[in-house]
Structure 1
């Protein structure tokens, strides 16, 4: 399985989870958005489609990519459309020190790990999170939603679960 990061160099490199994943050879860096694999799943917080467990085959065949940018510049980063199949993650709480407890404001490591967990690559998700002091906290904070999301059969089930766990909120208002 191929994991990619399109890195926009907007954050402090010492705190950047994407760089750490790259240093541990868990992801490949994509330096040009034109090189994003055509049928890869691109994690995009503004996408209308939601990642579901049935996306596992697409990820296995084509890869998974996170766009690493500053949350302060997120609107600018996602103005352009990224090649690939853009999907958002279901609602989860961040555990990283910068955005702890904030809905949806995940680091690149949290985003990739969440996606892997949801498509039932749980060991791989845990491996990513094990590199960070707060990785176990992320799994603890999101244990029930992640487990339930990983059992969902369709987007409608995910939407229902989001409402059960987090109520009627819009992620776009939160980011």
Structure 2
């Protein structure tokens, strides 16, 4: 599954997980919406949750993330063409947002999406480039496993609600 990033470049370049993925040829960066390929766009504002039912669409196209600072990650930023899907409840393991729900880096978002879509080996491969990568997968092992076992978006949302109710 190809990973593509609509790259804004407004984060600290030393902490940018998308740039690191690109350095290892694990993702391709794009500087404009027009250059970004059509695919499943990981969008926290999307109306549907990502589920295993999206796997065929992801394999035929690309998995796309927007890399920008959280301050500029408003709904208007997600104007990319494609099938927009939200990731369900997960907890960040990156050093900046450790333990915060839904504050994932680009690589964490990709790894979560890959795990949900049945590509756990690919998720492990990209997370291996980060000292805290294994921690993300361990911290979210149960929810990722449960989300990956769902039939569709509705089931993912139902499981997500269980985690939100615990918060």
Matches within 5 A, 1:46-125: 46-75=45-74, 78-79=76-77, 81-125=79-123
State the distance in 2 between where 1:80 and 1:87 align: 11
Shift of 1:32: 1.2
Match of 1:157 in 2: 155
Residue 15 of structure 1 is matched in structure 2 by 15
5+ residue gaps, structure 2 = none
Partner of 1:130: 128
**What is the root-mean-square deviation in Å for CA atoms of aligned residues?**
1.4
Deviation sequence 1:51-106 (CA, Å, 0-9, x none): 1011111111101011000112211x744521111111111000001111111110
Q: TM-score, normalised by structure 1?
A: 0.91
TM-score by length of 2: 0.95
Secondary structure, counterpart of 2:73 in structure 1: helix
Where structure 1 has 5 or more consecutive residues not aligned to the other structure, the ranges are: 170-175
Q: Which runs of 4+ in 1 moved over 6 A?
A: none
What's the CA shift string for 1:15-52, capped at 9, x where partnerless?
A: 100000000000011121012223x0000111111110
User: Where does residue 172 of structure 1 map in the other structure?
Assistant: none
